[in-house]
Structure 1
Amino acid sequence: MKSNFEERRQARKERYEELADKNRQQSEERYDAARSIGDRIPMGQPILVGHHSERGHRAALKRIDNNMRKSIEHDGKARYYEDKVQTIENDRTIYSDDPEAIQKLKQRLADLERHQAWMKTINRLCRSKKLTDAQITEQLEDQYGCSTSIIHGLLNPQYSYQKRGFQTWQLSNNNANIRRIKQRIAQLEKAEGEQTSERTIGEVTIVDSVEHNRLQIFFPDKPSAEVRAQLKQHGFRWSRQQGCWQRHRSSAAMYQAKKIVGQYGGE
């Protein structure tokens, strides 16, 4: 399971790298072609209207313009796919189809809970009536490793109505993340007891894939433009790797899948 998840992730990265390299090469080739054509035209040479060279000159300028536009277009695509590669490399998102998702989420939950407790401790210190600012600053530096800029922000709220320390919204946001992750863990633990199932409607197969965390629709052939539009409208995307239309599994996904397949002619 782990290897499959990592293999899919690596395959996406390699595909984007391949597309980036391809478009980068095409961009350079188009640029070189435009420059080569331009080199054959004397610098500053205007179009000689009525001269036998007029037609060829205009055609050359058109080819230069076309190659430069294509070069810019491919350069943009190369940058797009390079950004995709960078996103995958820097991605710290925990995906539900990652076999280690529950373990990773529990680690993140523990980190957030420690951070919540740390913020509350800092607030008690910053709002203490028994300590001077110098003593609070010393403890923030020595015991809690706070930098000078952080200490300044903690002891000097931006607005007069705010208290020292971390603000209520900061604790609330962190607490909301804690609740959200607890809910995800509960959902994934529940899903661990589920099994992949499939149903056939007419010639179409709907697979509720637990291991991929996707609801997948396998058509016998390419569906019509109308059906494809409905699939996209309801969140389904074509997966070339899986050879199906799919979206994250849910009861809503199953409902929409059955509805669309029914219109396709399965029921």
Structure 2
Amino acid sequence: MAPKWTPKREDFCLELAGEIEPELTTLAERAEAKAERLDALGDKRSHQSNAFMRAADDLSQAFYMGQPILVGHHSEAKARKTQERMHNAMDKSVRAAKAVQYWQWKAAGVERFANMKNNPKTRRNRIKTLLAELRDIQRTLNHAALCLKVWGQATSDEAIEKLAGMRLKTGDLVYWDHLQAYRQGA
């Protein structure tokens, strides 16, 4: 999985997999499946939260009617341990309840993102961006081809020195650091 397709990435994937087949699911179907997985995680955390809350409630029955922990009594250690387990269960219940909110928020975000990607305006803007990038690449390739043609006609050092200072309509014929390296004999 990569954020952007490039020929180099495609070659690497072909080298690893041998063959790349198009995915048969749409963006909306993938988003729906992911939202279902996230909702399932939220449900799981909800069940965990309820289980921890029930456990804390069961443990709290030892303190029903406000019986204090009797300091120095033989039951003190057991009461403190029960109280600690009750507090731990309540903390776990709260953390699981927060996780439920988190997973629901993530599922809603996945659905919002899929809806945004399916919006015709978003697709149109993405196509405009890709076309602009394509034009930039084509301009660079055209300039490089023109430079190769000009440099292919240079046969002597004098011609190279003369061409080195030239500038074409499409850009510089040579970059300054390349010219300096050539002049220094590198």
Please, what TM-score do these two structures have when normalized by structure 2?
A: 0.52
Note the alpha carbon deviations across 1:46-96, whole angstroms, 9 max, x for none: 1111111101100010001000000000000001111122223344322xx
Structure 2 residue identity aligned to 1:6:
A
Matched with 2:107 is 85
Higher relative contact order (CA 8 A, sep 6+): 2
8 Å CA contact 1:48–1:54 kept in 2: the answer is yes
Q: Distance in 2 between matches of 1:190 and 1:5?
A: 24
Helix, strand or coil for the counterpart of 2:65? coil
Q: Which residue of 1 aligns with 2:121?
A: 105
Cα distance between partner residues in 1 of 2:76 and 2:94 = 27
Q: Pick from 88, 91, 96: which aligns with 1:74?
A: 96
Give the fraction of aligned pairs with identical amino acids, expressed as a percent: 33
Structure 1 match to 2:85:
63
- Cα contact 2:53–2:89 (8 A) shared by 1: yes
The answer (yes or no) to whether the contact 2:56–2:89 under 8 Å persists in 1 is yes
Please give the secondary structure, in 1, of the residue aligned with 2:35. helix
Distance in 2, Cα, partners of 1:185 & 1:88: 22
Task: Give the alignment partner of residue 188 of structure 1, picking from 127, 130, 133.
Answer: 130
The answer to whether the Cα contact below 8 Å between 1:17 and 1:85 also exists between their aligned partners in 2 is yes
Q: Which has the higher helix share?
A: 2
Q: Partner of 2:77: helix, strand, or coil?
A: helix
TM-score (norm. length: structure 1) = 0.37
| Secondary structure in structure 2 of the residue aligned to 1:61 | helix
Aligned residues of 2:56 and 2:90 also touching (Cα < 8 A)? yes
Runs of at least 5 residues in structure 1 that lack an aligned partner in the other structure: 95-99, 110-180, 193-267
**Could you list the runs of 4 or more consecutive aligned residues of structure 1 that deviate by over 6 angstroms after TM superposition?**
none
The 1:2–1:93 alpha-carbon spacing in structure 2 relative to 1, beyond 3 Å, is farther
- Greater C-alpha Rg: 2
Shift of 1:105: 2.9
